[in-house]
Structure 1
Amino acid sequence: MPIYWSEKVLLVALESTYGTAPTLLAADAILASDIRLTPMEGQDLSRNLERPFMGAQSTIPVDVHAKLAFKTELLASGTAGTPPVIGKLMRACGCAEVVTANTSVAYNPVSRGHESAALHLWIGDTRYALTGIRGTATIRVNASGIPMVEFELTGLFVMPTEATPVVPDLDAQLDAEVLAATTANTPTFTINSVAMVMRSFALAMGNQVEPRFLVGSDSVMITGRTDTIETTVEAKSLSAFNPFALAKASTPLPVSLVHGTAAGKIITLSVPTAQMQRLSGLEEQQGIKEWPLKLAPLPNAGNDQWTLTFT
């Protein structure tokens, strides 16, 4: 009988030892969308044999790894001080998690000591497993849309098997109050402390994720990071906000985005020092002039170019 593409179960858990998967349980389930699996990345190494006849060369698969991309809703846990479901994914994408009991959970990028994760993805009864996972992500908030995080994960290859799927515990995620980005639900979006009318916003972590296969060590590493912000906003008079002058002067400026209003459900993205980039053009929507802005979040003391806080 056919295997239905929609029959998916995704479990993710952090590893305590790199490349060694813990026992993944129903509570490790992630409610995701647009799942895209590349199960066997790598190279086919030709033997390049000299033979007295023509024909294809036999090959050897090397540097075999796997990639998984998907989207998750950007949701707080509902309880201040309790990590959100995406917390373990943020940690596998090179972020530190700072928990303040009964108050907040904050994530910021770090340059060393990156954690790793393991996952199981069932499609039908076929289980795809990855270990030693690290990755990158993009946070997107679009007007009249559900705020999302797009993850791109890379992990070590594990041979797929047939196994009975775990029954996932998704109740809390399915029952969560999901708020679209609107004026009421997203009360703050400012650039340089100026309130902006925003159409779209994206912060890309820009992690450079490298599979590294040497004799004695197979791993996936985060070897660099170039964070970027792209946002489209309604144009203002230049006396109110002048992106051209800010870009010309390379002026560092703060960016703040707040989504949610109820305690335990508030998400704040703070970028203290972003550099305005050159405008590549102007846009028009519904007869209104809009600015497509690009900014580069810059570290100050280091590892502080942005913070995502759940309160």
Structure 2
Amino acid sequence: MSRYSRNALILAKVETTAGVDAAPTGAANAVLVANLTINPLKANNVSRDLVRPFFGGSEQLVGTATVEVSFDVELAASGTAGTAPAWGPLLLGCAFAEATSAGSRVDYTPVTTGLKTLTLYYYDDGVLHKVLGAMGDVEIKAGIGERPLLGFKFEGIDGGVSAATATGTYTPWKKPLVVTDPNTGDILIGCTYSAGALSGGTSYPSRGFNAKMGNSVVYTPLLGGDSIDITNRDVTGSIQLDLTPAQEVAMFASVKANTTQGVGFTHGITAGSQVMVFAPNVQLINPSKQDVSGRRLIGFDLRMTPSAGNDDVRIVCL
């Protein structure tokens, strides 16, 4: 009987105790994903390297091992202001904290302590892979003319493989708007953030926005207990801007002066369905000339550094 790759299901739930199965269910913890991949046994195989009086290799022994799972989810708010989106638990597993302002917004900000781990269940058309103590990295993908995505890559401890099936409920997952001028608007550079609003700065036409948290996800094998940890964060990104000659000259001067400034944008047009991204301390580096269908755009890499600490980047659902 044939098996099909699209007959797959991801469940994710925050663990009460790191590495202890949180027992996610299809009714409460299903994740609506795209571009799903798994490395079911990322093993450090140990060769026996035996000396024998004939040619031939030696078998390898499976040593320490983890499981890697990667997927994208659509970046859309919950539909109700002040209600956490369905992808919130995934961000918690990437060294973020969640703060809810009732009836107003939900803020996600990076943390250095009190990090959360996830239990992931990966159902692959009749086979269940359990991934425990999972932590990961996340990338914001908001390119013009595309649906906005959060790209996740998790690593966790192998919790076993068994024959099993399940179904998922996807009601909490909302349909996103494509990144367009009416839906998203301009990038703001030099802006500030307060209580769910961006203010100040200069707006620039752009090709969208990309940022990767750059979490250092580390597996530490120990006798008595393996673990996955996030040990550092280095947020980077990129933008392409449509600049006037005067703006390009000013931007190059700011690059040479190592200037840092706030960068932000808001995607969505109705309350409850908006997502804002803001970084307070962004350095534009590596300017490049970009040809987009004959139009001259200027590209920059971004370095998003902390200002007061644990504020490298903020994701807000409004």
Query: What range is the shorter-chain TM-score in?
Result: over 0.9
Aligned to 1:256: 264
1:200 aligns with 2:208: yes
Aligned to 1:75: 76
Aligned to 1:162: 163
How many angstroms apart in 1 are the aligned matches of 2:317 and 2:263? 17
Aligned residue identity for 1:32:
V
1:289 aligns with 2:290: no
1:307 aligns with 2:314: yes
Deviation at 1:188, TM superposition (A): 4.2
SS in 1 for 2:89: helix
Deviation at 1:50, TM superposition (A): 2.8
SS in 2 for 1:245: helix
How many angstroms apart in 1 are the aligned matches of 2:217 and 2:262? 28
SS in 1 for 2:216: strand
Aligned to 1:185: 183
Question: Over residues 36-76 of structure 1, what are the superposed CA-to-partner deviations in whole Å (9 max), with x where a residue is unaligned?
Answer: 11110021112233333332213221121010111000010
Aligned residue identity for 1:288:
R
Aligned residue identity for 2:254:
L
Deviation at 1:227, TM superposition (A): 0.2
SS in 1 for 2:92: helix
1:19 aligns with 2:19: yes
Paired residues of 1:46 and 1:57 also in contact (CA < 8 A): yes
Deviation at 1:241, TM superposition (A): 6.5
Question: Over residues 191-236 of structure 1, what are the superposed CA-to-partner deviations in whole Å (9 max), with x where a residue is unaligned?
Answer: 2222111113101000011111022220111111110121112232
Paired residues of 1:244 and 1:278 also in contact (CA < 8 A): no
Aligned to 1:54: 55
How many angstroms apart in 1 are the aligned matches of 2:311 and 2:36? 31
How many angstroms apart in 1 are the aligned matches of 2:308 and 2:78? 30
Unaligned runs of 5+ in 1: none
Unaligned runs of 5+ in 2: 191-200
Aligned residue identity for 1:185:
N
Aligned residue identity for 1:6:
R
Residue identity over aligned pairs, in percent, reads 28
Aligned to 1:232: 240
| Cα 1:133–1:239 shift into 2, 3 Å | closer
How many angstroms apart in 1 are the aligned matches of 2:189 and 2:162? 50
Which has the higher mean CA deviation after the structures are superposed, 89-98 or 51-60? 51-60
How many angstroms apart in 1 are the aligned matches of 2:175 and 2:14? 26
How many angstroms apart in 2 are the aligned matches of 1:196 and 1:30? 34
CA RMSD of aligned residues (A): 1.4
Aligned residue identity for 2:295:
I
How many angstroms apart in 1 are the aligned matches of 2:33 and 2:207? 24
How many angstroms apart in 1 are the aligned matches of 2:167 and 2:2? 20
Aligned residue among 264, 271, 274 for 1:266: 274
Paired residues of 1:202 and 1:230 also in contact (CA < 8 A): yes
SS in 2 for 1:90: helix
Aligned residue identity for 1:167:
T
Aligned to 2:229: 221
How many angstroms apart in 2 are the aligned matches of 1:239 and 1:43? 52
Question: Over residues 79-137 of structure 1, what are the superposed CA-to-partner deviations in whole Å (9 max), with x where a residue is unaligned?
Answer: 11111111100000011111112211111111122100011111111111101100001
Aligned residue identity for 1:310:
C
Query: Normalising by structure 1, what TM-score?
Result: 0.95
For 1:101-120, what aligned pairs fall within 5 Å after superposition? 101-120=102-121
How many angstroms apart in 2 are the aligned matches of 1:55 and 1:178? 56
How many angstroms apart in 2 are the aligned matches of 1:200 and 1:187? 9
How many angstroms apart in 1 are the aligned matches of 2:126 and 2:303? 44
Deviation at 1:239, TM superposition (A): 4.3
Paired residues of 1:109 and 1:303 also in contact (CA < 8 A): yes
SS in 2 for 1:169: coil
How many angstroms apart in 2 are the aligned matches of 1:233 and 1:121? 40
Aligned residue identity for 2:255:
A
Deviation at 1:3, TM superposition (A): 0.5
How many angstroms apart in 2 are the aligned matches of 1:5 and 1:146? 23
Q: How many residues align?
A: 307
